[in-house]
A and B are shown apart, each in its own frame.
Chain A
């Protein structure tokens, strides 16, 4: 009886005090906490799903939802709504800030985790390798790294910036600007739209 009613989330496991190492999964987990939705978290570590499933993925009574934005929409429809008390204007602001984050901060994050040689070799790759089952641990980190690199190069590297170091300079300065803007917006509050 309890099993089919539960929301089950597939995501990467956690380390370093975070419930999940994967940014998108963290987004969904945080939202579920804010909205009070009970999620049964099933980590995909050490299963074949590391390469077959697109993470995060939500199961509920037979239907599957992927992609963080779709999952959040789905949760809202199930009446787990953390944005209920926002005015229309604030709801519009959330969309705008999400777009800002995706455009400015995400490339820098991808770069730090997956493209920067030192970080990748010392931290990211060992972690993902140790959390993937045997034959996959050769492929999974490499695949994620090449996806991240291609995303950065296709969206940020335009004509005058021909090598990766100049692109790096550009994405880090944009990330810095983004953090400044977010810091100004947050001011002294605990959360972006008040205290809840």
Chain B
């Protein structure tokens, strides 16, 4: 394709940053580039990595998430579990601290976030980069094609599973009224609890609208989840992890989401049923739970609460 040919050469790292300017030529629109924007953000990233690399991983690293018993919702719980799994896979100790205002403390507004030394990093993507700068990485053994696949599958999980979780929590009226709004606003008193809950719901619904999910009904969302699980199941096949014998951040992310879906009680069990119909995904979750969580045998970690069951069925 002409466009790709102009901007990159096959198999080589792209050296040009992009700030597009479209000029329709006789043949096709071509993009003229100039440096400014991309260089600024790359410089910021390099600076952060340099600071991160300066110190080893401390003992008192903390992970913050909303209150586990009363406040945390399905999507946040899934993201938090994914990060915890990733850190365990790297062998990095981290303490989990539950705070009611975790979302507001986070630098990007998303939970979970980790506080390491004097830096605060939120969300799985940046956390993976941060740990890589400190010298711990799970995906170093992958070649370029595999790394491309891994990133693509992580986007699939974020795009489909996470969006579906958000949809079910906030756009489905019954779930929103019975579960999401009461839980989200539980630490606050009247009238703040109503204001915050409705504000969050409005924000999520706007986002669903923008990406075109507001036209979907619940059945279609369940169908999408099912297709996503089918893709993951086919990719996993009979292997222990997604990329052969070594776990990667993709395994952590998939485990986080699937385990949370399987162990959280919602208004209906249909979501969990969709996941359960893929047996290799179920055994994948069991295996990771056994390997990384049971050995520490922490009662409080997966203690049963009103919202979640304690272990896999």
Contact = CB atoms under 8 A, between A and B. Distances in A.
Answer yes or no: do A and B interact. Answer: yes
Given A172-B18, A179-B14, A183-B11, A100 B156 contact: yes
Interface in B205-233: 206-207, 210-212, 227-228, 230-232
Nearest to A123: B22
A95 B228 CA distance: 8
A124 B24 CA distance: 10
Contacts of A67: 212
Given A176-B14, A181-B148, A92 B234 contact: yes
Contacts of B235: 89, 92-93, 96
B22 A181 contact: no
Contacts of B40: 166, 169
Given A99-B156, A113-B22, A172 B10 contact: no
A11 interface: no
B140 interface: no
A113 B159 CA distance: 23
B109 interface: yes
Contact of B31 (A100, A112, A158, A185): A112
Nearest to B208: A154
B20 interface: yes
A176 B106 CA distance: 27
A155 to B, nearest CB: 6
Contacts of A196: none
B41 A166 contact: yes
Contacts of B110: 158
B274 to A, nearest CB: 16
B287 interface: no
Contacts of A53: none
Contacts of A18: 28
Given A99-B159, A118-B21, A176-B16, 16 more contacts: A16-B25, A89-B234, A89-B237, A96-B155, A100-B155, A108-B20, A112-B20, A122-B22, A123-B24, A151-B211, A154-B210, A175-B18, A182-B148, A183-B11, A184-B11, A184-B145
Q: Which 5 A-B pairs have the closest CB atoms?
A: A169-B41, A92-B231, A96-B152, A181-B148, A99-B156
